[in-house]
Amino acid sequence: MPLITLANVAKIYRHGSLEVPALSDFSLTIEPGEFTVLAGPSGSGKTTVLNLVGGLDRPTAGTVTVGTLDVGGAPAAVLADYRLRRVGFIFQSYNLIPVLSAAENAEFTLMLQGVPRAQRRHRVNELFAELGIDGLEERRPSDLSGGQQQRVAIARALAATPDVVLADEPTANLDSRTAEELLDLMRDLNARRGVTFLFSSHDDRVIGRARRVVRLEDGGLVADTLRDL
């Protein structure tokens, strides 16, 4: 059974009387444990797909299903719980809370879930060690490099053991060496932990490390390539 299914999805954004199509009759399935990138130029629909899978937006037509949940048609309260417990998000701007320490940022989703402090700190400490940022737990985001901030964001995304991690242009603000290190790290997490990653990117470094490349153009799927890396 696929983990993610988008079936004949259309998404139209409306600005007053203006209609802007973002996706048109788009279909895609993602199996558990995949490491997939949605590739294409700006405006091709990549981020829209992530927003629909993440329950941040709803399709204009068609269905978006994760497991057995109809994400596109679920009530707001169900979607909020889905985002809290089943999806991890990694953003290009990191989206860390400035007044919290690195560890507190990584623990934030677990705190919202009601996980006891000692248990969530233990889980985050393990992730920080695995991600190579142990020793930075008490630093604020402003005291971390871009690569370190993104590793904290990855720890936050993984802490609640989600069904899928959605990463929107995760290397956009990083230098080449840091970006490549983080991509190798996420591939390693995918291989060892079986974490399902779905990226959006037009970065060749991301595309070159993905096992599956789904290319979009003008809101439609134009190529779907599976590689043995």
pLDDT at site 70: 97
CATH code for the domain in which residue 126 is found:
3.40.50.300
In a domain, 22, yes or no: no
In a domain, 108, yes or no: yes
In a domain, 11, yes or no: no
In a domain, 156, yes or no: yes
In a domain, 127, yes or no: yes
Q: How many domains does the chain have?
A: 1
Q: pLDDT by residue for the chain (229 residues), tens digit each?
A: 899 999 999 999 998 889 999 999 999 999 999 999 999 988 899 999 999 999 999 999 999 999 999 999 999 999 999 999 999 999 888 899 999 999 999 999 999 999 999 999 999 999 999 899 999 999 999 999 999 999 999 999 999 899 999 999 888 888 888 888 888 888 888 888 888 999 998 888 888 888 999 999 999 999 999 987 6
Residue span of the structural domain in which 183 resides? 31-60+69-226
Q: Using the CB atoms, write b or e for 98-128: b if 16+ within 10 Å.
A: eeebbbbbbbbbbeeeebeeeebbebbeebb
In a domain, 9, yes or no: no
pLDDT at site 189: 87
* pTM as predicted: 0.93
In a domain, 4, yes or no: no
- The answer to whether 139 and 149 have CB atoms below 8 angstroms apart is no
In a domain, 195, yes or no: yes
pLDDT at site 158: 92
